[in-house]
Every structure is written in C-alpha cells, then in structure tokens.
Amino acid sequence: MEQVVLCDDDGRPTGTADKFEVHTTDTPLHLAFSAWLFDASGHLLISRRALGKKTWPGVWTNSFCGHPAPGEATEDAVVRRAQQELGLPASALADLRCVLPDFRYRAVDSSGIVEHEICPVYVVRLAGGAEAAPNPDEVDSTKGVNPADLITAAEAMPAVFSPWLVEELARPELRAVLEGQ
C-alpha cells in the first residue's frame, strides 16, 4: 500500500494516507513531484498516461511524476519513480535539479477526481545511451519532442495535456530551462 504525505496550507506534513484512498472528489493537499527528462540529443520525453490510471487516463503529460513516501527525500522519490514508470535505473539519471521548488496546483478530472498537490518540478538528464522501458501499468507510450514545440502545443490545445503540464509550462522558470537545452 503506497502512502502519501498530507500537508497543511503552509506545506507542513500533517500525516499520511493511502494513495488510492486519498485521490477522491475531495483530495486533501499532499506532497508529490513532477519530472521532465531530457535525452542526450536534447529531446524532451513526454508520456501518455496509461489508460488504467485513476486520474487523467490516456492524457499526455511530463516525463513522469509521483509521490515521496513518508520520510523519503523528494530526490530519492524521483529516482525511484524513474525506475517504476520508465524502467530507468539510478545510474541512467544525471543532473537531477529542482527548477520549481514551490509549484502547487489543484485540478479536477472529468470523472470528478481531484489532484491537490505541493509538487516541486525537476529536470533530469539521461546519462549515456540509456533508454526508457515504460511500465504499461503507468505509461501507455512516450515520445521525444522539441521543448519549444511542446510549449506551443500546450498553449494551443491545453485539453490534450495534463493540467499540471500546462500549468508548469506557463512558468517562466521552467520554460527558460526547457528552451535552453
């Protein structure tokens, strides 16, 4: 049973809850993270969420995301989820850095399920010739894209993408990093 860390409005941990029980029509604020992954050629990996996902199934989103476990450093959760979602071992990840430490959002899926997260945003580079091997329970498909093209597409057709992707791409700090690749 995967646990998430619940938070008050100031971001202080207040307890834990089961991940699958906490994501409802009244989801409390909790810790998460979002990660953007670049390959050696500067392409940005985006993922289409598996059709079996509880929230935003089949929607295109950032490379991967997840929740730090109670007592787990967020950077360690990023490494863990890269393995779980994309089959990438820790040795395949380089230059892990947080570019939006204070990002948070609340969004409601068409099913009524709410995401309500304090969600620092990370940028990661693939080391060497490592390639993703997506877990089909998490990821339907992936695609390497030009960051500027993704920004243009998210502005033109936001409904095609996860709401957190759209909100993250609206932040100039992330855009500067993504477009500077």
pLDDT-above-90 percentage for the chain:
89
CA angle 36, 101, 78 (to 5 degrees): 45
**CA trace torsion 30, 33, 34, 40 (10° rounding):** -170
117 in active site: yes
Enter the tokens of residue 28: 């409390």
Stretch 28-38: mean pLDDT, rounded?
A: 97
Q: How confident is the model at residue 1 (pLDDT cuts 50, 70, 90)?
A: confident
Instruction: Find out if CATH 3.40.50.300 is the number for domain 3-180.
Output: no
Out of 7, 65, 119, 168, pick the active-site residue: 65
What pLDDT, on the 0 to 100 scale, is given for residue 130?
Answer: 83
| Cβ(142)–Cβ(45) below 8 Å | yes
Stretch 137-157: mean pLDDT, rounded?
A: 96
Determine whether 2 is exposed, middle or buried from the number of CB atoms within 10 Å of its CB (0-12, 13-18, 19+).
exposed
Out of 2, 7, 72, 117, pick the active-site residue: 117
116 is in an annotated binding site: no
2 is in an annotated binding site: no
72 in active site: no
43 is in an annotated binding site: no
Q: Helix crossing, 172-179 with 147-156: angle to 10°?
A: 140
* pTM flag (> 0.85): yes
| Cβ(30)–Cβ(22) below 8 Å | yes
The span from the CA of 33 to the CA of 66, in Å, is 6
Question: Can you give the residue ranges of every domain in the chain?
Answer: 3-180
30 is in an annotated binding site: yes
